[in-house]
Every structure is written in structure tokens, then in C-alpha cells.
A and B are shown apart, each in its own frame.
Chain A
Amino acid sequence: AQRVTQPEKLLSVFKGAPVELKCNYSYSGSPELFWYVQYSRQRLQLLLRHISRESIKGFTADLNKGETSFHLKKPFAQEEDSAMYYCALEYGNKLVFGAGTILRVKS
């Protein structure tokens, strides 16, 4: 069955520190993975997708099929990065979301 695991409910870092939000998935097919972000009082929005291999707001994520992971990374956290982050797996045309990780960046 398709499953997305985000082991950390909360990740708290200081401004300027590196950030890594963990995501592991379970899927028998060829996965398409996404990171969505929800800032305070805003709607969920796409941050990045693995197929585009892009960097958005300094964030990158690499798909590691061997470890079935898609961790989100940023070398230097900023206060405006504080938000809820969801990792999602697409199968068919549906998305399965992880439980989400709250990132709190302290000044």
C-alpha cells in the first residue's frame, strides 16, 4: 500500500542553521513525490516536486530510491521558513500525504 512517513512532528532550528525534513515512502511503482507547504493562516501550496529537480526558496529534495526517501533540505534556515511541511506521493492522479512536520525557525 502507498504510504508516506514523516517521522518528526516538530523540528525546531535556529536561524542560519541547516534544515532537513525527513520523508520516507512506501510504493511499489515508480514514485512521483512532492513537498507541499502551509504557512500560518494560508492554504496548502506546492513547494517542489522531484521530477523538476529545482530549488525553491533555497529548498531542495533528492529522491533516493534505495532508501525510499525524499528528504527536504535547506542549508541556512530563515524565519520565514516557519510553516507546516507535507511530503506527498502521487499514485494514479491522487496524492497521499504524510502527517506533516512543523518547522519552527528561531531567531
Chain B
Amino acid sequence: GAVVSQHPSWVICKSGTSVKIECRSLDFQATTMFWYRQFPKQSLMLMATSNEGSKATYEQGVEKDKFLINHASLTLSTLTVTSAHPEDSSFYICSASGQGKGEQYFGPGTRLTVT
């Protein structure tokens, strides 16, 4: 149980275009979803926290107009990278919680490459 999926697993896009990444909780209702970014050989950095039906809370330094997060249902959150630039290339990971305090279930990640 407690499986989180992400789609796509990897994406290549041109500079200036927007990319949407989906995060789904497959077998549980996720009251909260989290979006992380991971640079090569570095740790996960929390970008934002989203609760179903409300606006996401962004961490300091994360541009909310660039990284649009929508959490429209208890099983789906989306991250849209708008007007992507090469420096946005990274590994984006989502996680979801809803079963017990503190435990987050992680998706497999999405590799974004902006050319």
C-alpha cells in the first residue's frame, strides 16, 4: 500500500516552454503533498507543500509564479514549470502523506531537462 506515482518519469523541453508534472497517490488519500527538487549528488530540497483544495505554501526562495502547484483532489497534485530555462533542469520528486504523522511516501521522481 501507499504508492505514489509520477508522470512523466523524464521529459525534455525547449527553453521558454512550460512543463507539467503529475503526482498521484494510487491507493490512499493524500491530504498533503510535497514537491522537492534534487540536484545531482545533493539532497532533496523542499520546494512547496500543498494541501488539497488550498493554495500551496512555498519555501523561501522558490518562485511561486514559476513553479505552479495545483492540488485539486486528494489523489492528484501537479507541478507546472513555467517558461522553463536550462537552470530549471533537475530531478523533481513528489511525496504524499495522509497515513500517520510524519511519514511521507515518495514518488519515483521526474527528470526534467531544458534545452
The residue from B4, B43, B93, B102 contacting A90, defined by CB atoms under 8 A apart: B102
B80-115 Cβ-contact flags toward A at 8 Å (1 or 0): 000000000000010101000111101111000000
B residues near A100, Cβ cutoff 8 Å:
43
Asked whether A44 lies within 8 Å of B43 as measured between CB atoms, the reply is no
Residue B49 lies at the interface, judged by CB distance under 8 Å to chain A? yes
Q: How far is the CA of A98 from the CA of B42 in the complex (A)?
A: 9
Given A43-B4, A94-B34, A97-B43, list of 6 further CB < 8 A pairs? Answer: A32-B102, A43-B106, A43-B107, A43-B108, A93-B49, A93-B102
Asked whether A45 lies within 8 Å of B106 as measured between CB atoms, the reply is yes
- Shortest CB distance A40–B (Å): 13
- Shortest CB distance B27–A (Å): 15
- A-B interface contact total, Cβ < 8 Å: 43
Residue A99 lies at the interface, judged by CB distance under 8 Å to chain B? yes
Chain B residues within 8 Å of chain A by Cβ, number: 19
Interface class of chain A by DSSP: strand
Q: Given A43-B109, A44-B93: A95 and B43 within 8 A (CB)?
A: no
The residue from A32, A45, A86 contacting B44, defined by CB atoms under 8 A apart: A86
- Shortest CB distance B63–A (Å): 19
Residue B68 lies at the interface, judged by CB distance under 8 Å to chain A? no
Q: Given A43-B108, A90-B102: A97 and B44 within 8 A (CB)?
A: yes
Residue B32 lies at the interface, judged by CB distance under 8 Å to chain A? yes
B residues near A97, Cβ cutoff 8 Å:
43-44
A residues near B49, Cβ cutoff 8 Å:
93-94
The residue from B34, B43, B101, B103 contacting A46, defined by CB atoms under 8 A apart: B103
Residue A96 lies at the interface, judged by CB distance under 8 Å to chain B? yes
A38-50 Cβ-contact flags toward B at 8 Å (1 or 0): 0000111110010
Residue B74 lies at the interface, judged by CB distance under 8 Å to chain A? no
- Considering the complex, give the chain B residue whose CB is closest to the CB of A51: B102
Asked whether B46 lies within 8 Å of A86 as measured between CB atoms, the reply is no
User: Which residues 41-55 in B have Cβ within 8 Å of A in the complex?
Assistant: 42-44, 46, 49
Q: Given A44-B93, A94-B46: A34 and B102 within 8 A (CB)?
A: yes
